[in-house]
């Protein structure tokens, strides 16, 4: 790819070496970070420099809330 930075895209080609060969091409693919796609830098809405959480607000809606395992039961307790 050889390029980095926001807004960069590339063409992804997947070749399966079968007989006959199979080729799939996806144009304008973008790199996704572990945090998800980033917003453009030129947004009109400014974010604070100290976010409340390392997880983006838009990502939070896609996450399932954590669950706690049930407390252990003691065998033979009255």
The phi and psi torsions of 36 (rounded to 5 degrees) equal 100, 180
6-64 tens-digit pLDDT? 677 888 899 999 999 999 999 988 877 777 767 777 756 555 444 554 555 544 555 66
What is the widest separation between alpha-carbon atoms in the chain?
71
pLDDT of residue 69: 65
pLDDT of residue 45: 54
Domain spans, the chain: 1-32
Give yes or no for a contact between 52 and 30, defined as CB atoms under 8 angstroms apart.
no
């Amino acid at each position: 790819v050889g390029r980095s930075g926001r807004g960069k895209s590339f063409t992804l080609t997947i070749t399966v070496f079968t007989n006959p060969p199979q080729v799939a091409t996806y144009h304008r693919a973008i790199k996704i970070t572990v945090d998800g796609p980033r917003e453009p830098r030129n947004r009109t809405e400014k974010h604070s420099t100290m976010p409340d959480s390392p997880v983006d607000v838009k990502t939070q809606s896609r996450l399932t809330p954590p669950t706690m395992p049930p407390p252990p039961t003691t065998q033979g307790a009255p």
